[in-house]
Chain A
Amino acid sequence: MAKAVLMQGNEAAVEGALAAGMRFFAGYPITPSTEIAEKCALRLPQVGGKFIQMEDELSSMAAILGASAAGYKTMTATSGPGFSLMQENLGYGMMAEIPCVIVNVQRAGPSTGLPTSPSQGDYMQARWGTHGDHPVIAFSPSSVLETYTLIIRAFNLSEKYRTPVIFLMDEIVGHMREGVVLPDPNKLKINPRKTSFHDGAHKKCYYVPEGAFVPSMKPFGQGERYNVTGLVHDESGFPVNNSAIADKLISRLLSKIDDHVDDIVRVEEYQMEDADTAIVCFGGTARAAMDAIEAARAQGMRVGMFRPITVWPFPEKPLKARLPQLKRILMVEHNHGQMLLEVRRAVSGAVPVDFLGRIDGTVISPAEILANLNEKEAN
């Protein structure tokens, strides 16, 4: 077996991204994501990639879109305040169908909030931060090793669905070091950039071939001239003001995700086989839940964990499949109740959904979750 190495969550994001083929990073360092920019500055030149420290997060997002259009796999990393600034160009990336990965290591907000404290308050922003009806894929890892493997998947799905993917980390995982045994790089599944040049009759850059759900990419600046815009566009990439074309384009942008939810969604279920109570949580919060479940089981409670790894689209189908066995759901998250809204929407009153959250910048402890479980058990 390969040797375990001590690695921080933020470092694992970089190493995973490099393994996935990321060769361009543009960003503006911000706590608690700073180690990602630091590590990219060190590592990218070693592998022939480029690191640029930009003047702000608006331009960081613009730069990774531009570099991606030119053929690179690209990434940026930020935290809440920077993620807010990225929203306009994030929507541009979705409309122009430009693959890239945006890491948001969440900290307590709103605004500049508590820079060094953990939070999961950007969950809804990840879905609805940019305007208009748009497709979103977002993942949230709960360990250092999962940060590595999951960010590779973020790059893969970004290429497959030609869309920016949001990698929603939190300070708990970002700033945590663990011993990890990384997977053999030769055994990783990497989706290469699908490009096409001068493909006969279909030179139009946004032409979607029969049976495909996205156009293949033509590397910008490498011989083929085309237009990229955030406006509604036809297959040529040029803006049009035509309702039929608008409907067709936006419908395809949404359905390329909606029609492939089973491919995109991943959850972890822990001790759910006989559970009558499910703790729903994501990201670093899961680590307290795991300890709480162990303690609750030792007291005879039948508690399990349902953890969305894909946080957008919300894993509605796998959660609904568990409802017949459940008496209660406890949503635990470091915010004022955001994923809670999705859980309650999916559950539609079939099972009571309670909430345990924190907005003070401190971490929810296993003891707090256990106390909540005990209180309900006693009632």
Chain B
Amino acid sequence: MGNRYEMRLAGSGGQGVILASVILAEAAVDSGVTVIQSQSYGPEARGGVCRAELVLSRGTLWFPKVTRPDFLLALTQASLDKYGRELAEGAIVMVDDSLTVPEWLEGARLVPLPILGTARDAVGKLFTANVVAVGAINALLGLFDEKALLEGAMRRLPAGSEEINKSALAAGAALVSPELAAAFAQKIG
């Protein structure tokens, strides 16, 4: 089952966590990292808990699904409460700082960041929260170089939204201090 880095991005249907995972997968392909992206959602497309998954490796990947994520992004309380319980040992949990962290999760490597607030106030559009998150995830884990990430994002985001999404990516990256990035950097095996 080899070296797998398993990531789960979770939020509410409509927040764009699937697109966020696709952007990261695009950057992985461009960077020569083996990646499998998949998603899971209930019959209700909007409003329900939605999750997207990525598996990264420097080797070959077969099984596409995430069973025990090494990284979790939770943008809503419901998604944190649901997926916070299924983590690998030492998993990193990035949450929006508006969420209440349950007691049972207090031992995890938590990274609360103002993702939704940054999208709403600094970027100016709440709907860019998924792209802010992509910028923050990449900066925190040190996965891909910024050029690969930006190109990946531009291939998948709607025409006309380039400028606002560029600033969303940058705003997300700016949420991660160099100290934080140094402490959480991952090496994909």
A365 and B38 within 8 A (CB) = no
From A4, A178, A288, A294, give the contact of B36 (CB < 8 A).
Answer: A178
How many residues of B are in contact with the other chain, CB < 8 A?
22
> A288 to B67, alpha carbons, bound, how many Å?
12
A291 and B29 within 8 A (CB) = no
From B34, B62, B63, give the contact of A179 (CB < 8 A).
Answer: B34
Known contacts A115-B43, A365-B67; A177/B36 CB under 8 A: yes
> A286 to B64, alpha carbons, bound, how many Å?
11
> What residues of chain A lie closer than 8 Å to B34, measured between beta carbons?
179
A294 and B1 within 8 A (CB) = yes
A287 at interface by CB-CB < 8 Å: yes
B36 and A366 within 8 A (CB) = no
| B1-20 interface (Cβ within 8 A of A) | 1-2
A291 and B35 within 8 A (CB) = no
B72 at interface by CB-CB < 8 Å: no
Least CB distance from B172 to A in Å reads 21
A116 and B28 within 8 A (CB) = no
From A4, A5, A116, A290, give the contact of B62 (CB < 8 A).
Answer: A290
From A116, A287, A367, give the contact of B64 (CB < 8 A).
Answer: A287
Nearest A residue to B27, CB-CB: A6
B37 and A176 within 8 A (CB) = yes
B22 and A172 within 8 A (CB) = no
B67 and A6 within 8 A (CB) = no
Least CB distance from B90 to A in Å reads 19
> What residues of chain B lie closer than 8 Å to A115, measured between beta carbons?
43
The contact string, 1 if C-beta is below 8 Å from chain B, for chain A 157-188, is: 00000000000000010011111000000000
B65 at interface by CB-CB < 8 Å: yes
A295 at interface by CB-CB < 8 Å: yes
Which of B34, B38, B43 has the most C-beta atoms of chain A within 10 angstroms of its own C-beta? B38
> A363 to B53, alpha carbons, bound, how many Å?
14
How many residues of A are in contact with the other chain, CB < 8 A?
24
> What residues of chain A lie closer than 8 Å to B1, measured between beta carbons?
291, 294-295, 366
Main secondary structure on B side of the interface with A: mixed
B35 and A178 within 8 A (CB) = yes
> A115 to B2, alpha carbons, bound, how many Å?
32
| A108-126 interface (Cβ within 8 A of B) | 115-116
Nearest A residue to B64, CB-CB: A176
Least CB distance from A224 to B in Å reads 47
> What residues of chain B lie closer than 8 Å to A367, measured between beta carbons?
67
| A1-36 interface (Cβ within 8 A of B) | 4-6, 31
From A6, A284, A363, A366, give the contact of B22 (CB < 8 A).
Answer: A6
Nearest A residue to B67, CB-CB: A365
A288 and B63 within 8 A (CB) = yes
B63 and A116 within 8 A (CB) = no
B29 and A6 within 8 A (CB) = yes
| A274-298 interface (Cβ within 8 A of B) | 284, 286-288, 290-291, 294-295
A366 and B63 within 8 A (CB) = yes
A176 and B35 within 8 A (CB) = no
A179 and B28 within 8 A (CB) = yes
Inter-chain pairs besides A179-B25, A290-B63, A291-B62, 17 sampled, C-beta below 8 Å: A6-B22, A6-B26, A31-B43, A116-B42, A177-B22, A177-B35, A177-B36, A177-B38, A179-B29, A179-B34, A286-B62, A287-B64, A291-B2, A294-B2, A295-B1, A365-B65, A367-B67
Which 7 pairs from chain A and chain B are nearest by CB? Answer: A179-B29, A290-B62, A177-B37, A287-B62, A291-B63, A291-B1, A176-B64
